[in-house]
Every structure is written in C-alpha cells, then in structure tokens.
C-alpha cells in the first residue's frame, strides 16, 4: 500500500485504552465476517510464548514482551490464528499507521488500543515503548501490511527492546517478497531480498550495475534470485535500467497485487515484460520484481546460463549459418559483454578442453 506521510502526533499514553476511529474496510478482496472460530487448540508443539488457546477469540494471558506480528498484504484471511490471539491479548498495538491497522482490528473485532510507531517517530517511540515493556507490558508491533521491519518500520524498536533485555517474539505470516518468490518459478533455494531500489534514476542505475558487477560465479554458486519492491509509477524506468544493464534476455517475474482480486504474475524476459506493460494504459497496484541474473564464469564473463561460450557460439553458428566472428558479435550483443572479453573466455575454454 502506498504510504501517506505519517504525521508525528501528540504522544499517546502507552497503557490506557483510547480507541482509534473506525475507518472502514481494509483494502481487501475479502469482505464480511471475521475468520472462523476454530475452537480450542491444545498442541504440544506450542513452545514459544504466546496465547495457549489459538483462534478462540478469547484473550488469554501471554508473557510480557514485544510481539512482531505479520498482517495481511491484501487478503484479510492471510493472518494466522496465533497472530489474532496475540493481537487480542496484548496491552497495546504499535502501528505504522493506526488508521490502517484499525481497519484490520475492526474486521476481526479486536478491541485493543493502538499507538503509532512509524518511520518518523520510531526512535522516540521505541524509548517510550521499551520503558513500558520493562515494566511488564505486552506490546504487538505491526506495519500497514505484511511483516514489520521488512522495508517497513520496526527494526529500531526491536533492537531497542533487545538491548533492554526485553523478550521479542516473532509472529510470522504474510510477506510480499516470499509470496512472490514461491510462485515465481525462479530459483528459491538461494535468493537475496534487496528492498526498494533508489528512486533517483542515476543512483538506481548505479545500484543495478553494482549488483551486476558483483554477480555470482558459475564456479561457486547455484542460480540466485534477486527480489525488489517497486512502485508502479517507477516500474517502466526500473525495467529499462534492468534491461540496459543485464540485456533483454534477463529472466524476470513481475508479481502484482498478490493475494488480491487482480493478482497477476508476468513471467518472461525483461524485454517481454516491458512489451506487455508498454501495451497497457497504466500500471497500477503493488509490485514485487524478481530477477534471475545470468551466472558469471569464473573469469567474470556473464553467461545467460551455465552453458559454455564455446557451445553458445557453436549453436549460434549452426542456427544462423554465420562464422565464428559473427557468432561472437551476436553473443556479445545478446549478453551485454564485450566481444574481446568473450573471445578471451572462448580461448580459455578451449585451452581447458585440450
């Protein structure tokens, strides 16, 4: 959800019970009644602190501490039973935007006071909340959507709580990066989450070039997926930068509006995805981008796959009936590498085969 600027409001009392305004429905394709009442759960696997009866709608005592609670990224049903019980059981919920969270709390009929904790007040708020935590408060931390601290406020409060010796408990759940990754079809054993790229075009391009320069080597690694968050109004520029650095064949998945009515995955090369988006009037919604950068040979030459340059040159020659020089020229164009670099790598491969 694009974030409105967060006003730093008057301090809110930590342990008293004022209620925020009812601000209507959470942005979701799910309307209606709260999730099912799933009765009493008596699992022995519940080791971590938290309510002992899950999903009952009742509040149960939980250990004092800071609970880092994931909330839905669109579909209101994407919240765990444990998260709901924790939200019901805490003294206060620290929110990135209290109005946004209030929609979720209204939906699940959770009547717990909220307090703001956002980018602009997190340090001051962390000091206050940690004082309350030290006195035995139970506080939940949530962001507008997904997992707190992941490209969202929260990590400074968590660090302050840890420094103060306070119990910190993760309550896992929705996250856009992982949701996109698992349905992308790209390698998921190794991946790097890189958050938002810089907004300014020069800095963004430099960052992408750095990522390309530091790419992984075929000698040492399995393919790795890079995951970025991106705003819809910057998507065309970002895709253009990705293409100009890694070439049109870069494998990419654009995941849009995950868990919502208009959820969409565009899978293909960066050139194909750009063509598809270019044909649309406007690109809307929330976007997670995943790319699978080409592997590099041990000598630093970028390869589209683990395929050897010798084989790729031979394939281009066979497919197009061109000589080796022309095939190298085409490969250089395709991979974004210089012809002489590719030629040197070709010679090295041949030497190794002897």
DSSP string, 216-244: PBTTT----EEEEEE-GGGHHHHHHHHHH
Pick out residues in 105-144 that bind ligand SAM (CB under 6 A): 143
If one asks whether residue 151 binds ligand SAM (CB under 6 A), the answer comes out as yes
Nearest to 308 by CA among 351, 354, 345, 269: 345
Of 76, 145, 169, 290, the one binding ligand SAM by CB under 6 A: 145
Q: Nearer to ligand SAM by C-beta: 152 or 345?
A: 152
Residues whose CB falls within 8 Å of the CB of residue 71, separated by 6 or more in sequence, listed in order? 79, 83, 101, 104, 142, 143, 144, 145, 146, 173, 174
Residues 171-210 that bind ligand SAM (CB under 6 A): 175-177
Residue closer to ligand SAM (CB basis): 89 or 175? 175
Whole-number Å distance between alpha carbons of 192 and 228: 9
Nearer to ligand SAM, 218 or 225 (CB): 225
Residue ranges in 255-284 that form contacts with ligand SAM under rule CB under 6 A: 255-260
Burial 160-184 (b: 16+ CB within 10 A, else e): bbeeeebeebebebbbbbbbbbebb
Helix axes 339-353, 324-335, angle to 10 degrees: 120
Query: Minimum CB separation from ligand SAM for residue 4, in Å?
Result: 12
Give Cα separations from 87 to 148, 187, 281 (angstroms).
14, 35, 41
What character string, x for contact with ligand SAM (CB under 6 A) and - otherwise, covers 47-86?
Answer: --------------------------xx------------
CB of 203 to ligand SAM, least distance (A): 18
* Position of minimal CB gap to ligand SAM: 146
Q: Residue 85 or 152: which CB sits closer to ligand SAM? A: 152
Nearer to ligand SAM, 168 or 322 (CB): 168
How far apart (Å, rounded) are the C-alpha atoms in residues 182 and 138? 33
> Nearest approach, Cβ of 98 to ligand SAM (angstroms)?
16
Q: Which one, 15 or 240, has the nearer CB to ligand SAM?
A: 240
Nearer to ligand SAM (CB atom), residue 85 or residue 144 = 144
Helix (H, G, I), strand (E, B) or coil at 17: coil
The helix (run of H) or strand (run of E) holding residue 287 is strand 287-292
Minimum CB separation of residue 288 from ligand SAM in Å reads 4
CB of 178 to ligand SAM, least distance (A): 8
b (16+ CB within 10 A) / e for 284-316: eebbbbbbbbbbbbeeebbbbeeebbbebbeeb
Q: Does 147 bind ligand SAM (CB under 6 A)?
A: yes
- Say whether residue 93 binds ligand SAM (CB under 6 A): no
- What is the total count of residues that contact ligand SAM (CB under 6 A)? 24
Say how far apart CA 265 and CA 272 lie, in whole Å: 13
Q: Assess 242 for contact with ligand SAM (CB under 6 A).
A: no
User: Can you say how many angstroms the Cα of residue 45 is from the centroid of all Cα atoms in its chain?
Assistant: 28
The smaller minimum CB distance to ligand SAM, of residues 243 and 257, is found at 257
DSSP symbol at 347: H
Q: Does 150 bind ligand SAM (CB under 6 A)?
A: yes
Question: What x-and-dash track marks residues 281-310 binding ligand SAM by CB under 6 A?
Answer: -----xxx----------------------
Q: Which residues are near ligand SAM by CB under 6 A?
A: 73-74, 143, 145-147, 150-152, 175-177, 229-231, 255-260, 286-288
């Amino acid at each position: 959800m694009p974030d409105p600027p967060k006003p730093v409001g008057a301090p809110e009392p930590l342990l008293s019970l004022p209620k925020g305004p009812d601000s209507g429905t959470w942005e979701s394709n799910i309307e209606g009644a709260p999730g099912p009442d799933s009765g009493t759960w008596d699992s022995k696997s519940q080791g971590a602190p938290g309510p002992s009866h899950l999903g009952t709608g009742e509040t149960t005592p939980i250990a004092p501490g800071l609970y880092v609670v994931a909330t839905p990224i669109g579909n209101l049903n994407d919240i765990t039973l444990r998260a709901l019980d924790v939200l019901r059981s805490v003294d206060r919920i620290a929110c990135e935007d209290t109005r946004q969270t209030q929609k979720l709390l209204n939906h699940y009929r959770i009547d717990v006071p909220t307090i703001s904790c956002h980018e602009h007040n997190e340090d001051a708020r962390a000091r206050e909340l940690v004082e309350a935590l030290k006195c035995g408060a139970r506080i939940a931390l949530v962001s507008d959507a997904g997992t707190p601290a992941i490209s969202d406020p929260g990590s400074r409060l968590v660090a302050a709580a840890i420094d103060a010796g306070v119990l910190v408990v993760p309550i896992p759940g929705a996250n856009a990066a992982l949701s996109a990754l698992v349905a992308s079809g790209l390698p998921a054993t190794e991946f790097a989450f890189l958050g938002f790229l810089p907004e300014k075009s020069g800095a963004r391009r430099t960052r992408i070039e750095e990522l390309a320069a530091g790419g992984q080597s075929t000698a040492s690694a399995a393919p790795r997926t890079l995951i970025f968050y991106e705003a819809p109004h910057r998507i065309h520029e970002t895709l253009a930068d990705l293409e100009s650095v890694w070439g049109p064949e870069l494998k990419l998945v654009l995941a849009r509006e995950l868990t919502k009515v208009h959820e969409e995955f565009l899978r293909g090369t960066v050139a194909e995805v750009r063509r598809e988006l270019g044909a649309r009037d406007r690109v809307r919604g929330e976007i997670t981008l995943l790319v699978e950068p080409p592997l590099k040979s041990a000598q630093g030459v970028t390869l589209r796959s683990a395929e050897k340059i010798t084989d790729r040159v031979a394939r281009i020659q066979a497919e197009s009936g061109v000589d080796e020089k022309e095939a190298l020229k085409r490969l250089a164009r395709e991979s974004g590498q210089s012809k002489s670099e590719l030629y040197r790598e070709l010679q090295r491969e041949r030497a190794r085969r002897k």
